[in-house]
Amino acid sequence: MNKSTFKFKVGIIGLGYVGLPRSLQFCEKGISVCGIDIDTSKIKKLKEGRSYLTNINDFKLKKIIKKKIFFPTDDFSNISKVENIIICLPTPLTNLNKPDLSYIKNTFNKIQKFLKPHQMICLESTSYPGTTSEIFVNFLKKKFSIGKNFYLSFSPERNDPGLKLNISQIPKIVSGFSNNCLNKSYKLYKLIFNRIIKAETLETAEMTKIYENVFRAVNIGFVNEMKKICKTMKINIHDVINLAKTKPFGFMPFYPGPGLGGHCIPIDPFYLSWKAKKLGLDTKFIQTSGKINRAIPGWIIGNINKYFFYKKKNKNNLSGKKFLILGISYKKNINDMRESPALEIINNLLKYNSKVSFFDPFFKKIPKTRKFNFEKIKRSKLSKSNLVKFDGVILVTDHDNVNYKKILNYSKVIFDTRNKYKIRSSKIIQL
């Protein structure tokens, strides 16, 4: 099959937080895309021009659907019709904090029989260095000549949900199994990105993505540790950060919070540590930062328990208490709750036999995850009659479209984990 006979320029597997925005990037340039996902409810919505992501509106979808340059489907056989295959699938951790590459491996098994000469596979999913070669090379070598009649590349995604920056303006790193593979990848992404940066090897590009995320995780771990110290010493950590960032050199501000969320930053330190251990290396610094960040939700609950201890002089003061979780997204202004610390906070409260409700403008219910099932927890309205019933409001995610003044007026106490309330009040406890 000659490459000119392919029906679609691009096939994107996984239409989530990376795959769907990437599909729109190509379509908006007039480039045909076949989008594939196993979730039939997503496919139905897309065909109707309805978006399930906050950063993509229905108008954009309906426009490309009408032009017939975006074809969403759950049929993997359509892979035979695309020239370039981009894989945007999740890479979570197992319960033992080991890399779980099952989504990628299972998908590759599904598409193997549909692969044709002159195609390219590009992995955008984050993983440890060596993943692209380990998963794809052995099979592809049996059927194709990689770099001559088939191409393999890795290009780390750098999407940041909620970021008000055109994706195309973010420098795009590309790599390839060979120079021909690299050039093939470069030409593809040059169609939709303003700046393309070539990495020398697949492993270098894979490590770059891990490095970027671990850098953030380690520094957030440090500032969360500082938050604990400052809390004990009755020092406002945010005042410290604001003063420190006036230094014009050698300092980059990071901010504490209720823990780490999102797909990459909480997970990537464990991916790198796992790989390092396989090589006989000990990454104590990285592992420690991961443990610190994972412990923050428990630390928050511990401090809330202490607050009520001083009031009631009881050991377990959270039993029977009613709490409102304000925000379940892992960051503000998005409908993404992957690895959200809100879930760990809810889980801790339930262990204490607390009664929990939530409010989030982006969620009507808490979706079931691999780890938690909180679908029975009810969404509460932010009315005066509701707010006065809660023993405490725990502010986890500081969405912009929330009436914080109203919450302050009618709540008994607010445990603020985001420094949203910058005023002094007996009703506000900074955590």
* pLDDT, tens only, 273-326: 888 888 999 888 888 888 899 999 999 999 999 888 755 555 668 889 999 999
Distances (CA, A) of 230 to 170, 223, 238, 257, 396: 36, 10, 10, 14, 19
Beta-bridged to residue 395, according to DSSP, are: 326, 416
Tell me which H or E stretch contains 152. strand 151-154
C-alpha 278/C-alpha 287 separation (Å) is 15
Instruction: Check residues 164 and 134 and name the one with the higher pLDDT.
Output: 134
Q: What pairing do the DSSP bridges indicate for beta strands 151-154 and 172-176?
A: antiparallel
Instruction: Check residues 265 and 66 and name the one with the higher pLDDT.
Output: 66
Helices within 161-201 (DSSP H only): 179-190
C-alpha 160/C-alpha 308 separation (Å) is 38
pLDDT above 90 covers a percentage of the chain that reads 73
Q: Which positions are catalytic?
A: 264
Q: Is the pTM of this model over 0.75?
A: yes
- Residue 215: which of 171, 263, 269, 172 has the closest Cα? 269
pLDDT band at 269 (very low <50, low <70, confident <90, very high): confident
User: Which pLDDT does position 336 carry in this prediction?
Assistant: 87
Assess whether pLDDT exceeds 70 at residue 151.
Answer: yes
pLDDT above 70 covers a percentage of the chain that reads 96
Domains of the chain as residue ranges with CATH:
3-200 (3.40.50.720), 225-430 (3.40.50.720)
3-state helix, strand, coil in the chain (%, to 5): 40, 15, 45
C-alpha 430/C-alpha 183 separation (Å) is 52
**19 token code pair:** 């795959």
Assess whether pLDDT exceeds 90 at residue 5.
Answer: no
Mean residue pLDDT across the chain: 91
pLDDT band at 178 (very low <50, low <70, confident <90, very high): very high
- Residue 80: which of 6, 150, 188 has the closest Cα? 6
pLDDT band at 1 (very low <50, low <70, confident <90, very high): low
